[in-house]
Amino acid sequence: MRLPELSSQTDAKVIPLGLLTTTRYCWAGCAFCRLAIPLPHKPLSEAPAGLTWEQVQKSGVNFDQVAEVRIRGGLSLAEPFDYWIHFLRQLRPNVPGRLIGFSPVEIWQYHLTERRTLRELLRLLRWAGVDRLGPGGSETWDEERRQRWSPNRVTVAEWLSIAKAAHAVGLATTAAPMVMPGVSDMDWQGYLLPLQDLPPALLELKPLQSDGTRLSRLGNAGILETTHAVSAIHDLAPHLPLYVRWETGDCHDAQEILGAAGADGLTLPVWEVAP
């Protein structure tokens, strides 16, 4: 792998994020997850209560401090979809930047459990003020990996169908492939192929942080793997905005190295509110 030449003119910018976690409980059991508390064999009606607008207000977080607010969570949401539409309607006037959420994973769950069409759900999100869907479910298109890591999440075809429906109602999408040791240029070429006819607003690489997960044997993705991924994707799709999720401490060196490799920015969580 060719290391990029560093220049202060190529530093990737930092995009500060605010995270609103709807719930930490989840029945999906994804092998790469470090956040969710397993909730197997429980009906949604018995799931713990999710985030409330009152909890957000009491947290005292500064919405002006972040460029994006992201709604994320597990898959045990006891509340109906309309609860979250009401939540988003209260949230939107307080968010001067972009509002991101839900991901296709949650949309598909509500599509199945409430028997509502994808377009109906997505139109409601847009009406509530959402700018872009989250990337959940786009970690890998490799079917063998998906079956081993996250068989309970959406399939590639389901994810793409939700993304197409989102574009049809005016919602942008994001894809977030997972970076891990051993991923080749051919792998990245294969990842980009299904997105050719449906380009996302941006690609946000997620370096694997495997500590405490079932993928710990693979190790964490470091700066070398991430730089290789950025360089490969930038060469294959130079016009696609490319960001890296950064959660591993100081990001100054990463700004230089990843920016020189072709990354437009690093997304950096600043605060989180969870139930």
Residues contacting residue 86 through CB under 8 Å, at least 6 positions apart: none
Query: What is the structure's pLDDT at 170?
Result: 94
Q: Which of 19, 10, 4 is nearest to 267 (CA)?
A: 19
Query: What is the structure's pLDDT at 45?
Result: 74
Query: What is the structure's pLDDT at 131?
Result: 96
Tell me the CB-side half-sphere exposure of residue 27, using CA atoms within 13 A: 16
Low-confidence ranges of the chain (pLDDT < 50): 1, 6
Spatial distance between the Cα atoms of 166 and 121, rounded to a whole number of angstroms: 9
The model's pTM: 0.92
Give the torsion through C-alpha atoms of 46, 81, 152, 247, to 10 deg.
-100
Query: What is the structure's pLDDT at 163?
Result: 96
